[in-house]
Chain A
Amino acid sequence: MFGRHTGRGGRLFGAAALTMAAGLVLAGCANGDSGGDNGAAPDPGAGGDSNFAITFLPKSLGNPYFDTSNAGGAEAIAEFGGTFQEVGPTEASPTSQVSFIQTAAQQGVDALVVSANDPAAICDALDEARSVDVKVVTFDSDTNPECRDLFINQAEAEGIARVQVEMIAEQIGGEGQIAILSAAANATNQNAWIELMQEELAANWPDIELVDVVYGDDDDQTSFDRTAALLQTYPELRGIVSPTTVGIAAAARYIQTSQFQGQVAVTGLGTPNQMREYVEDGTVTAFALWNPADLGYLAAYAAKALVEGTITGAEGDTFDAGRLGSYTVGANGTVLLGDPFVFNADNIADFNF
């Protein structure tokens, strides 16, 4: 019952233990040999102002939008002398973000910059991190205000919603059926924008009917397949709005090779590099975004200001954000980056992100 293996068990023990130990030592020494920029483990405890250890935790890794924002954050941190670390799950789910928050708390980083997959699900983990003196800054997608110190908002939600509605209305001639291809079903930012878009449509565009909202989970293949399904299910569809860079890229790619190219408009929030091809061949007329690099840059400076104690997140606090100038904290601990920007065939050549 307790095993029939005799002395060989001892040899197994030795060999396996040696392998395990060797592996761990190697991993510990190599310290982050794959993917992303891993700084040396920072000093635990409250951060001094000489070495800011800041960890960026986007919704998921492998998303070009967040690659750009991470790069912006890294640029800022290099400027003011800190250590930058980027971690993230491979799929955009709230549960998978929790373990990274816990690890950051264990490592005792100074600040955590998060784009949340869900407004409430990671709150407990964030509160735990804050209880060991980690400052929490959310950006791009917020959590409930009580579990973070600051939120860096890329633009007013109303503005983001309005610009997308105006673009699609213009592209389909003010009437017809449209659908929305969103990211994850619980994503705070997309859901806020979708709600405002629905209000805007109801108020100003009575001839446009929103027939469906589908979720692509910020996964390329899923978004691609959802677009195909939309086009099949609603033969009268005139336009698709995708308020997520993964979704709009996938939708544009599908439509480019389908019979609907030029007939069904595609717009939303996209990055110039991903959308360039589709703008050039006419699949997409116009789309909007802001500069995610600036967003990450600003978030890093805000985190630094929190760690230093220059601000506490109260309304009216001001802090310096390097090349972006000085920023003031608004209501609810929100810092506004700016306004959304519309890209089209005329100006897309000027941008590279």
Chain B
Amino acid sequence: MTVPTTAAGSIAARRTALAKVGARLLSREAGVAATLILVVVFTTLQNPNFVFSPDGYRDLLLTPSILMLVAVGQAFVIITRNVDLSVGSIVGITAYLTGRLFIDIPGIPVLAVFLAGAIVGGALGLINGALVAVARVPALVITLGTLYIYRGLNVAWVGSDRINASDLPREFRSLGTEQILSIPVLTLVAVMVLIAAAWYLRNTRGGREFYAIGSDPDAADLYGLKVNRRIITAFVMSGALSGLAGVMFAARYGTVSSQAGTGWELQAIGAAVIGGVAISGGVGTVWGAAIGAFLLLTINRALPVIGIQDFWQRAVVGALIIGAIVLDRVLAVRQARKLRELRDTNND
């Protein structure tokens, strides 16, 4: 690559280099999507029912949609260089809340229940965010504590009771299986939320500040960004989305016990990391997290069809996470080197 010496030439070179770097980042999501398509194609070749039966197709789209919401919320938090371990417990609480609302308030409109789930989840997320932002305690520790607390409260509330499918009104449960234009309703809802989230992160000032805070919290603070407010917002979003996922969980599975949502925090973090949201913050998109969620759960489905016992799914997920992190590191090192080169050539 020749080194341009004129000012216009160096600007052009900078744009090209940055565009290349940008393209590489974009290709991360494309890479994950390509992997997903490969997995689906390969599995369908083994067993066409994987995609080409009504149930197979529906399950392929439906089950990951619920995790996708949680992963999107997690992406918000991870981009600000935090982590939210309590999402699984939030899903559990709102799933049970859904059942309780239907049982205790007969005739309550379904939309109200969705709102209630989001609001309760958001409130729980607010507690997380306030503790992290105001008390300046690492999110890992706070959400570790709230994971215990929320789950414990959930189990105490539920006792040995459970919500049975027969407790939920028909029209709510049918949301779990109904389709519009052959796409499951819940998937449509999840995708709409995804689009809104992506738009917020990319096109609003608040969203872009998430990236700034995640890249360098001290610089963001010095620059005058309202770091606390953004962090609290991120956690509230994570909580609200998890709450929404809890309501959808009740619609899909019908039965809710005190263990609903257990372990989902790890799946959500894994999905986000695989989808390109670097754990060190400042990088990644919610599209990546969403595709990551789909990839994880599709692998879960696909393994038994290929003939591998599906207990190996978690090992595959773990290897993918590590692979994704290593890839992130390689890309980051390369990007830093490129930017250094650019700075050095421009300083000549």
Query: Which residues of A does B touch, CB under 8 Å?
Result: 34-36, 61-62, 64, 67, 90-91, 219-221, 224-225, 228-229, 231-233, 235, 249-250, 253, 257-260, 274, 277
Contact = CB atoms under 8 A, between A and B. Distances in A.
A333 B321 CA distance: 52
A249 B53 contact: no
Given A232-B53, A233-B47, A62 B162 contact: yes
Contact of A235 (B49, B161, B166, B253): B49
Contact of B155 (A90, A232, A235, A250): A90
B158 interface: yes
DSSP majority for the A interface?
helix
B182 interface: no
B306 to A, nearest CB: 10
Contacts of A250: 255
A260 B166 contact: no
14 contacts: A34-B156, A35-B156, A35-B159, A62-B160, A220-B162, A220-B257, A221-B255, A224-B255, A229-B301, A229-B310, A253-B255, A257-B176, A258-B55, A260-B55
A292 to B, nearest CB: 14
Contacts of B80: none
The 6 A-B pairs of least Cβ separation, nearest first, read A35-B159, A220-B255, A61-B160, A257-B177, A62-B160, A258-B55
A232 B255 contact: no
A127 B184 CA distance: 53
Interface range for B = 20 to 34
A219 B166 contact: no
Contacts of B176: 257
A232 B47 contact: yes
A233 B164 contact: no
A218 to B, nearest CB: 10
A64 B255 CA distance: 12
Interface string B49-70: 1100111100100010000000
A197 to B, nearest CB: 22
Contacts of A277: 165-166
Interface of B: 47, 49-50, 53-56, 59, 63, 155-156, 158-162, 164-166, 176-177, 253-255, 257-260, 301, 304-305, 310
A221 B257 CA distance: 9
Contacts of B160: 35-36, 61-62, 67
Contacts of B47: 232-233, 235
Contact of A232 (B161, B165, B166, B301): B301
B40 to A, nearest CB: 13
A231 B258 CA distance: 27
Contacts of A260: 55
B305 A233 contact: yes
A274 B166 CA distance: 9
Nearest to B151: A90
A284 to B, nearest CB: 14
A61 B56 CA distance: 33
Contacts of A249: 255
Given A233-B304, A249-B255, 5 more contacts: A34-B156, A224-B253, A232-B55, A232-B305, A257-B176
A259 B54 contact: yes
Contacts of B161: 62
Contacts of A231: 55
A219 B259 contact: yes
Contacts of A235: 47, 49, 53
Contacts of A219: 257, 259
Contact of A62 (B59, B158, B166, B253): B158
Contact of A90 (B49, B59, B259, B305): B259
A231 B54 CA distance: 12
A231 B165 CA distance: 21
Nearest to A224: B253
A72 B289 CA distance: 49
Given A62-B158, A62-B160, A67-B160, A229 B253 contact: no
B59 A253 contact: no
